[in-house]
Structure 1
Amino acid sequence: MIEIVEVDDFLHNLEKASNIDLQVVTPTLPLFKANSVSDDATAQRSIIGDAKGAFKAILANCFLLAFNMSPHAELSSTSSENPAPAVQRAFDGFLTENINENHLPSVENRSHLRYTPEEEVHDLVCVGFGPASLAIGVALHDALDGTDASLMDVPGLQTRSPKVAFLEKQSQFAWHAGMLLPGAKMQITFMKDMATLRNPRSEFTFLNYLHQKDRLVEFANLNTFLPARVEYEDYMKWCASWFEDVVSYDQEVVKVVPEKCASGEITTFTVVSRNQLTGRTEARRTKHVVIAAGGRPNIPRPFPSHHPKVIHSSKFAYTSKQVLPDYQAPYKVAVIGNGQSAAEIFDFLHANYPNSQTRLLIKGGALRPSDDSPFVNEIFNPSRVDSTFNRESRLRSTTLLEDKGTNYGVVRLNLLEHIYETLYMQRIRYGSSPEAEATQWPHRIMPYRRVMEVGDSPVLKNGVRLTIQDQSPLYFSEVPGGQERKEVMDVDAVFVATGYLRDLHETLLQDARHLMPGGDLADAKWTVQRDYKIRFEEKRVAEDAGVWLQGCCETTHGLSDTLLSILACRGGEMVRSLFEQPTKWDSGDVLGGFEERN
């Protein structure tokens, strides 16, 4: 049993101060009091989680009602046409004298969302619990907490706390764990955290995280807007810890199935998941589904998808030590890609494997810097999503292509300069001739290279052989006068930094394809509205039900769709879209032992 303070003493003091019987005011009070000392884990979780928010609000409601009906209430009816403000002041005074952290259940970092048993119909099930789903959870907490004025009037949140579940495949919250390299910095300001741009008063701001961790002053002394990547992941883990009650880890969602309904319209969906620890299949019914499963590693042809020595960048931090265990060994390593991740891996190998030979193969002529200048950064403003979505599709595609240089295949300038300086030092030591570069430089960038074949190395034990085409103008056969040139490279490991695919929703929604507009047409893809809600065929799905997509809508919503930049604001938009329609529930549904308001 979880130990919490006795609620009876508090209620007794409240009744004594007001000379009223609170059980007359609310018949469900005994249930609340019983739950407060119950052995039932669900009841305890509900009480403890509500302690600092809903507990005070409910008691305040009781107090207001009690004063309105109690003959002993010392309030003059002539003092005000509406006595509520005076009652509120009286209650506030009572709270000041009687409530502190020792009087209420002591709970650290607990959201206003409550655990819902698997068999109950949920309001919302989120597939995945990465930054996108976390932002939705944070926005929901802020809406229920009353700190976000923009979400105070959401109809579906006016009468009850929603029944929410997050299902996550990983065993714990993690964000790009495979690329948390020493010294790696964030590429966006910490102001674009889970809450600040939507609600600076939220408990979930990065600054409040620093305050809670007792590092605010020291961080300020760093004089930077770009925290270390490892610190930002810790910040998001801290945010995620608030939602432990409603997150189920080690749950791999395998499909989302629309449920048949007698009325003809789909009103609920079943989210089917597999417990990766037990193998047990679980099913949760819900009115709303958010698919925010993130991207899966993109390993393009001709690289094999499953090879112990061909590794995607998303796994680099914890697999490089296994593949390259000896930091002093003369390994031969190839890195594929021309973006930030590829550059970071290339730089890490140079710094930590001094005797290795590292080759960075890029398809272009040079590594290019990302553009994070102020005007260009406006591409990632939350308001830009509207203008992007509303553009004609051809113009939108052209704009996205123009903007890709801000995020794809580019590297932060300070890292570029550092790598260039590293290569320059090799010129001093080994010489600048093409022959010296090809035969003596331990670390090289090889431009205009394309890997044509991948196989086992005949000269390196357990190694990989790459057959590479030089596509520079001199050696590219498709260029007039060009000559075809291929070379082979034998390496101990290949690290592929070629991005992610974001199409898991197509697999998860296979059983719902008959609900597509026009039916299940061959090669048809799911489309979404501005609010990220999937377009189903008219009158097939009820207005207060549906499926929403997150992180896979770049072609319609812009480059920021897969990034952290707009998560705070988008989380608020999602909450409003999800709960715009009040949900109809049976009168027997209760919250924390209290009947729901009508």
Structure 2
Amino acid sequence: MSPGSGDAPYDVIAIGAGPFNLGLAALADGLDLRVAVLDSRPEFTWHRGLMFDDAMLQVSFLADLVSLVEPAHRLSFLSYLRDNDRLYQFYVREKFHPTRREYEAYLRWCAGQLDSLHFGREVTEVEWDGSVFVVTVGGERMSARHLVLGVGTEPAVPAALADLPADRLLHSADYLYRRDELLRAGRVTVVGSGQSGAECALDLLRADGPAVSWLTRTASFAPLDYSKLVLEMTTPSYVDYFHSLDETVRDRLVKEQWRHYKGISSETLDQIHDLLYQRELGSAPVELQCGVAVESSAVGADGVELTLRHTDTGRTFQHSCDVVVAATGYRNRPLTFLQASVDSLVERDAAGRWAIKRDHSVEGALAGRLFVANADLHSHGVAAPDLGIGAVRNATILNAVAGREVFRLPKSTAFTSFGLPA
């Protein structure tokens, strides 16, 4: 079904069909709300360039699209398992964390059952006409009372690496697409020590092909902080507390809390160490270097020449390789389709970012609400990119759109108290 220009205004148009807006469509299914989710891609896919066979999701299966709000929902992960006759196999497996490959299969299963999703529909303009949002899609104009922006992120390459030619540089998001090329290279350097960088380094070590260097500017190859009481900082209770803080305090906390969402799983670190220990004499050389930052890069007579700065001493040195894998994270995609009639009516914080309310809508003079999904790290804290907050965020948005409590939101989600005593 394709949304047409002659239709009455939608209650919600959501732009982008990643897991968060897919979850919005799932929870909205069956409600008395007109919802359309638009995505420029031909079909739903998720992190295909890093879909290693044994890569695990870093959250429980309960962090599906619906369960933490509606555990009996027909589009829960357990419903997917039952529908595919895998429920007992999952039970006997006795692991809460699915593989990423199975989680993508679950998301695609959900997408195939939702009529509100429209793929191959690129949004080129969004305007505010004084009463509704007007969304231009492939020459058609659609309107909505409220808008949800979930356009996601795009690979980020730091300026120090950005000028390398394409045959010498790839982002980790494209790793599997260019894996054969990497295995033919003599020397591969992975820059960045999050989970993506670790998985790329692990795969190269397993292949025992090129010489591998793994570099990070952090003081160590740090594990993800996955302890139970720290995980309470990804709950709605902590989001309530974080959102209430002053902007300067929030910014400080986000910088301090990077290990809550940018570290490496302990299992992956163990696998890497085991491989390093088991390597035979004569294997391709391996170098792990922490506390170094890439200052510049160029192609020279010996391949790629990186200028690195050792952060503890301040001294620089040279590093040579043939190809660089930039496991350097992601940034929010620019909202090039957003016209001045919208952008001029939103409020910004002291750093120029959108000021976002607790219900994930943007402060401003718009009569309709403009919501964001996973673009609120600065206002809602480390839970923002976590799949486990998706269902609650979407339930909050749909309650706001409906003007009533369609979904009962959890009231007590942590044993820890984060603020001052009452």
Deviation at 1:578, TM superposition (A): 1.8
Q: Which residue is 1:585 aligned to?
A: none
Structure 1 residue 184, shift from structure 2 partner: 0.5
Tell me if structure 1 keeps the 8 A contact 2:28–2:35: no
Which deviations, in whole Å up to 9, do the C-alpha atoms of 1:473-506 show, x marking residues without a partner? 35x2xxxxxxx33214131x21111111125247
SS in 2 for 1:397: helix
* Aligned equivalents of 2:299, 2:256: Cα separation in 1: 39
Letter in 2 for 1:247: L
**In structure 1, what is the Cα distance between the partners aligned to 2:66 and 2:79?**
11
Q: Secondary structure at the match of 1:371?
A: coil
| CA distance in 2 between partners of 1:515 and 1:406 (Å) | 34
**Is the Cα contact below 8 Å between 2:204 and 2:212 reproduced in 1?**
yes
Aligned partner of 1:258 in structure 2 is 128
- What secondary structure, in the 3-state scheme, does the structure 2 residue paired with 1:302 have? helix
Q: Partners in 2 of 1:566 and 1:525 — Cα distance?
A: 21
SS of match in other structure, 1:257: strand
Between the two proteins, what is the percent identity of the paired residues?
A: 24
Residue 395 (str. 1) matches residue 271 (str. 2): no
Residue equivalent to 1:140:
28
Aligned to 1:123: 11
Separation in 2, partners of 1:209, 1:272: 34
Structure 2 matches for 1:37-436, cutoff 5 A?
Answer: 116-120=3-7, 121-141=9-29, 144=31, 157=32, 162-243=33-114, 245-259=115-129, 266-273=130-137, 280-304=138-162, 307-321=166-180, 323-324=181-182, 327=183, 329=184, 331-352=186-207, 354-408=208-262, 410-426=263-279, 429=281
User: What's the TM-score, normalizing by structure 2?
Assistant: 0.88
- 1:444 pairs with 2:287: yes
Q: Distance in 2 between matches of 1:526 and 1:403?
A: 21
Q: Which residue of 2 aligns with 1:31?
A: none
Paired residue secondary structure (1:558): helix
Question: What SS does the aligned partner of 1:344 have?
Answer: helix
C-alpha displacement of 1:241:
1.1
Letter in 1 for 2:306: T
Q: Deviations over 1:147-205 (max 9, x none)?
A: xxxxxxxxxx3xxxx33221112221112121111210111110111111111110111
Give the deviation of 1:522 after TM superposition.
Answer: 11
**Alignment RMSD:** 2.5
Indicate yes or no: 2:414 matched with 1:560: no
Q: Is the 8 A contact 2:190 2:327 kept in 1?
A: yes
Specify the code of the residue in structure 1 equivalent to 2:356. Answer: V
Aligned 1:562-577 pairs, distance under 5 A: 562-577=385-400
SS in 2 for 1:181: coil
- Describe the SS at the equivalent of 1:417: helix
Give CA deviations for 1:539-590 in whole Å, capped at 9, x if unaligned: xx33xx2311111101111111112011112211111112218xxxxxxxxx
Offset, 1:351: 1.4
Q: Distance in 2 between matches of 1:211 and 1:399?
A: 41
Shift of 1:248: 2.2
Runs of at least 5 residues in structure 1 that lack an aligned partner in the other structure: 1-41, 43-114, 145-156, 260-265, 274-279, 431-439, 477-483, 582-598
Runs of 4+ displaced beyond 3 Å: 521-525
Deviation at 1:472, TM superposition (A): 4.9
| Aligned equivalent of 1:548 | 371
Equivalent of 1:514, from 329, 334, 344? 344
Distance in 2 of aligned mates of 1:309 and 1:443: 19
Match 1:458 to one of 301, 310, 323: 301
Equivalent-residue separation in structure 2 for 1:509 and 1:355 (angstroms): 50
What does the per-residue CA deviation read over 1:80-103, in whole Å, with 9 as the maximum and x for residues that have no partner? Answer: xxxxxxxxxxxxxxxxxxxxxxxx
For the 8 Å contact 2:297–2:307, the answer to whether it is kept is no
Aligned counterparts of 1:489 and 1:510: Cα–Cα separation in 2:
47
The number of residue pairs the alignment matches comes to 403
CA contact (8 A) 1:167 1:249 kept: yes
**Contact 1:116-1:164 at 8 Å conserved across structures:** no
Please report how far the alpha carbon of residue 122 of structure 1 lies from its aligned counterpart in structure 2 after TM superposition.
2.0
Considering fraction of residues, name the structure with more helix. 1
CA distance, structure 1, for counterparts of residue 350 and residue 125 of structure 2: 20
Give the drift of 1:131. 0.8
1:354-382 C-alpha deviation (Å, 9 max, x unpaired)? 23111111112320111111111111112
Structure 1 residues 311 and 126: alpha-carbon distance in aligned structure 2, compared to 1, 3 A threshold? same
The Cα of 1:308 is off from its aligned counterpart by 3.8
- Judged with a 3 Å threshold, the aligned counterparts in structure 2 of structure 1 residues 506 and 526 are, in CA distance, closer, same or farther, namely farther
Aligned partners of 2:213 and 2:287 also within 8 Å: yes
- How far residue 140 of structure 1 moved from its aligned partner, in angstroms, is 0.9
Greater RCO (CA < 8 Å, at least 6 residues apart): 2
Do residues 533 (structure 1) and 420 (structure 2) align?
Answer: no
2: distance between equivalents of 1:417 and 1:522?
Answer: 42
Aligned-residue offset at 1:214: 0.3
Q: Aligned equivalents of 2:362 and 2:336: distance in 1?
A: 12
For the residue of structure 2 that corresponds to 1:369, the secondary structure is: coil
By how many angstroms is 1:219 displaced? 1.1
